[in-house]
């Protein structure tokens, strides 16, 4: 069974971009150890960062 028979042609077109998404996971934001890191807003919810994320977004709006 080939990859193309398992997923849509639109998904196959985005496969080359997948490694970029996973690079985000190697540079996640942390207030002390990685303040210049990436805040991943692509998750459904990130309850551990609600306070920090709310403050950050409100300071930029």
Rounded average pLDDT per 10-residue block, the chain, 61 residues: 72 76 84 90 74 89 77
42 and 23 Cβ atoms separated by less than 8 Å: no
- What's the CA gap between 38 and 20, in Å, rounded? 12
4 and 12 Cβ atoms separated by less than 8 Å: yes
Both tokens of 33, joined, read: 């150890």
At 49 the pLDDT is 80
At 4 the pLDDT is 55
Range of the domain at 44: 3-60
At 35 the pLDDT is 93
At 1 the pLDDT is 60
0.75 exceeded by the pTM? no
Number of domains in the chain: 1
Both tokens of 10, joined, read: 């639109």
């Amino acid at each position: 069974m080939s990859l193309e028979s398992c997923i849509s042609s639109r998904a196959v077109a985005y496969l080359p971009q997948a490694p970029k998404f996973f690079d985000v996971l190697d540079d996640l934001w942390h207030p002390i150890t990685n303040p210049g890191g990436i805040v991943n807003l692509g998750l459904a919810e990130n309850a551990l960062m609600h306070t920090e994320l709310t403050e950050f977004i409100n300071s930029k709006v």
